[in-house]
Amino acid sequence: MTKEHKSRSRWWFPLAAVILSTLPFVILEGVFALFGVGDQGTTIDPLAGFDGARPLFEESAGGKYVTALNHALYFGEQQFESEKDPNDVRIFCLGGSTVRGRPYAVDTSFCKWTELELNSRDPKHSYQIINCGGLSYASYRLTYIAREVLQYKPDVLVVATGHNEFLEDRSFVGVKERADSALTSWFLSLRTVSLVRSLFGKGDVEQQRQLHANKIPSEIDVRLDENSGYASYHWDEQWREQVQNQYIESLQTIADICKESGVPLVLVRLGSNVRDCPPFKSELRADVSDKDAATFDRLMHEAQGQTDNPEAALVIYRQLMEIDSNHALLNYRIARCYDRLGDLESAGMYYLEAKELDVCPLRILRSMDEQLQVFAAEQDIPLVEAGEAIRELTSEGMPGDDFYSDHVHPTIRGHQVIGQELAASIADLKDIDLNGTWSSIDRVHHYQSYLDSLPKAYLSNGRRRVQWLENWARRDRMILDVTPYDIRTRVNVGWKELGFGDLETAQKQFRDALNQGEGAALEILNFAHHLAASGRLATAKQMLEWLHQEIEHPDMEPPIQLAKMINSKLMGEEAMAILIYDDYFGRSEYSDEYTSQWLKLYPACWTELAAILSE
């Protein structure tokens, strides 16, 4: 054998060995492909949204695009026609769990209320809002979704993001790195790998759906209990700046590709619970001595024991500010003291500072909020002031458990308010003439009809998704920081519990609030108004009747009777409304500062009742 022949043999044998060793896998992949085994679409995508290689939607046999099965645990199921009708107005809404409608589902997300509002007020068009809200999705991953959905002929793209920027950067840093690897992406696409993951791992979508149907975990519950998540958060100014820069860069990318595609973009400025949610993690400065740290812990515990004496607690907290004024929980507790003392201006300042100093920032920072406003103005992009719209509905301009179910997720009423604002913005952007005859009464009845169509367990399922917050507070010895302590906090917790359909627990909180002072009756009456405005007329009726039985205060009798009369009119219970109008009010109109909002729900109530009795 010649030297040349031997040389060729040396490289041929290793190559042949590689081919022979991989051939069974190639054949196996081919067989699996032939029989549809190990389809990647049936397994959870571990790189979801980080590489743009796996589309959110796939075309089905019925001529529709549907949410890809391997994204089903992160997104609500959505579908839309492959072919778009000329009268269709197709809107994609991108964001995180707030867009998805948490703590509930896509059925009561602000996207759905926007769609309902537009379809009800503009019968000339058929509006569909496709909900692309992904659990824990931040702006970085939304850029990939934006590129994809711009292929589906949208008329408007809506983006509501900001709360998950720091959550995603800490919790998914390893996933981001793997997503950047083409080899990893290719490896996970193999049918053999998908089959093994579904058999021995947690990759099977249907299996996980069954698990989640019983457990319904929160994405943040997991992150705050993992060493790689919660424990990895430490004060890092440079890291914060990097995350904020990436946030604006992602928004710029989305704005640029929308401009290139000729699709208008709408941004949503979300709000958060600043009043009834303590910071998730607090740390003393690194330069605080061990002695001062021990003093800090001792005095914090001592001050917390002054639950019923906020003045005394403030004296101690001011001492602690000398040790570390940037401690997030310290600022929050100072805010609570000022809140109890009625100094709302000081309370608001410290509440916002506590949110800004949170070492684990799961609510959008004030600086990012300001960046968003500047960006929208400079780019001439419509900005929906969702958080501001909710803030204006609160009695003292500081939203808490009254309009937020946890740290960032709005109540159903909150989602409805955002939906109204977004509908108005889209109508203005597209020069759509909304039906001016659509009244507040029409809106209430549309809301009522839609809510009545939802499953009976819909509200209570939402309650299970926010249980993590109380568990976390108990674990971190901050249960007193989320425990109601006065009229406002008790009424707000009652609001929240009724939002989850728990009438008994809500009434217990309301009763405790009434025992603390007569002012609770007005707070409860205000809440009943929001129940009626949201379409929950039967629940509003229950609350008004309960309140009427619980109190014996002559000054509250007229506003409660008026509220019952208007709620009866909205429910179509004419006989009850007439009885109250005739017997209690003696056919005379009544109004005071407490009933004006009720009259706005049904402005013609007095006139209609008078007309009926005059016949």
Residue 543 belongs to domain with CATH number: 1.25.40
Q: Which of 395, 392, 373 is nearest to 384 (CA)?
A: 373
Burial class for 420, CB neighbours closer than 10 Å (0-12, 13-18, 19+) = middle
Q: Cβ(41)–Cβ(58) under 8 Å?
A: yes
Q: What is the pLDDT of residue 258?
A: 98
The string of pLDDT tens digits covering residues 397-421 is 899 999 999 999 999 999 999 999 9
Has residue 185 been placed in a domain? no
Q: What is the mean pLDDT of residues 518-533?
A: 94
Statement: residue 134 has pLDDT above 90: yes
Q: What is the mean pLDDT of residues 274-279?
A: 94
Whether residue 420 sits in one domain with residue 323: no
Has residue 47 been placed in a domain? no
Has residue 331 been placed in a domain? yes
Statement: residue 191 has pLDDT above 70: no
Number of domains, the chain: 4
Q: Cβ(267)–Cβ(371) under 8 Å?
A: no
Q: What is the pLDDT of residue 494?
A: 94
Q: What is the mean pLDDT of residues 187-213?
A: 44
- Residues 38, 39, 42, 46, CA torsion sign: positive
Q: Cβ(598)–Cβ(444) under 8 Å?
A: no
Whether residue 489 sits in one domain with residue 540: yes
Last residue in a domain, options 428, 452, 476:
452
Statement: residue 477 has pLDDT above 90: no
Q: Which pairs from 83-86 meet CB under 8 Å and 24+ separation?
A: 84/153, 85/126
Whether residue 599 sits in one domain with residue 529: yes
Q: What is the mean pLDDT of residues 22-29?
A: 58
Has residue 478 been placed in a domain? no
Place of tokens 């008329």: 155
Percent of the chain exceeding pLDDT 70 equals: 79
Q: What is the pLDDT of residue 69?
A: 86
Whether residue 268 sits in one domain with residue 325: no
Reported as half-sphere exposure (CB side, CA atoms, 13 A), residue 196 has a value of: 9
Q: What is the pLDDT of residue 233?
A: 87
Statement: residue 174 has pLDDT above 80: no
Whether residue 249 sits in one domain with residue 127: yes
Whether residue 568 sits in one domain with residue 600: yes
Percent of the chain exceeding pLDDT 90 equals: 67
By residue count, the chain amounts to: 615
Which one is predicted more confidently, 13 or 131? 131
Whether residue 151 sits in one domain with residue 31: no
Place of tokens 């939906």: 419
Q: What is the pLDDT of residue 518?
A: 83
The domain of 298 spans 290-356
Q: What is the mean pLDDT of residues 447-454?
A: 98
Burial class for 476, CB neighbours closer than 10 Å (0-12, 13-18, 19+) = middle
Which one is predicted more confidently, 519 or 373? 373
Please give the Cα distance from 397 to 344 (Å, whole number): 9
Whether residue 61 sits in one domain with residue 26: no
Q: Per mean pLDDT, which range of 50-59, 201-210, 246-255, 357-366 is the poorest?
A: 201-210
- N-term to C-term CA, the chain: 120
Q: Give the predicted TM-score (pTM) of the model.
A: 0.85
Has residue 157 been placed in a domain? yes
The string of pLDDT tens digits covering residues 535-575 is 999 999 999 999 999 988 888 999 999 999 999 999 999 99
Has residue 369 been placed in a domain? yes
Q: What is the mean pLDDT of residues 13-28?
A: 59
Please give the Cα distance from 612 to 385 (Å, whole number): 42
Q: What is the pLDDT of residue 473?
A: 58
Q: Cβ(362)–Cβ(390) under 8 Å?
A: no
Q: Which of 349, 158, 365 is nearest to 271 (CA)?
A: 365
Whether residue 377 sits in one domain with residue 338: no
Please give the Cα distance from 161 to 252 (Å, whole number): 13
Residue 600 has a CB neighbour count (10 Å cut-off) of 12
Q: What is the pLDDT of residue 37?
A: 46
Whether residue 602 sits in one domain with residue 498: yes
**What stretch of H or E contains 189?**
helix 182-189
Whether residue 269 sits in one domain with residue 393: yes
Q: In CATH, what number is assigned to the domain containing residue 301?
A: 1.25.40.10
Q: Cβ(539)–Cβ(503) under 8 Å?
A: yes
**What stretch of H or E contains 129?**
strand 126-133
Q: Cβ(352)–Cβ(273) under 8 Å?
A: no
| DSSP assigned state of 107 | G
Q: What is the pLDDT of residue 467?
A: 73
Q: Cis peptide before 103, with omega less than 30 degrees from 0?
A: yes
Q: What is the pLDDT of residue 592?
A: 85
Q: In CATH, what number is assigned to the domain containing residue 97?
A: 3.40.50.1110
Has residue 257 been placed in a domain? yes
> What pLDDT band is residue 3 in, cutting at 50, 70 and 90?
low
Whether residue 490 sits in one domain with residue 576: yes
Has residue 339 been placed in a domain? yes
The residues facing 89 across adjacent strands are 127
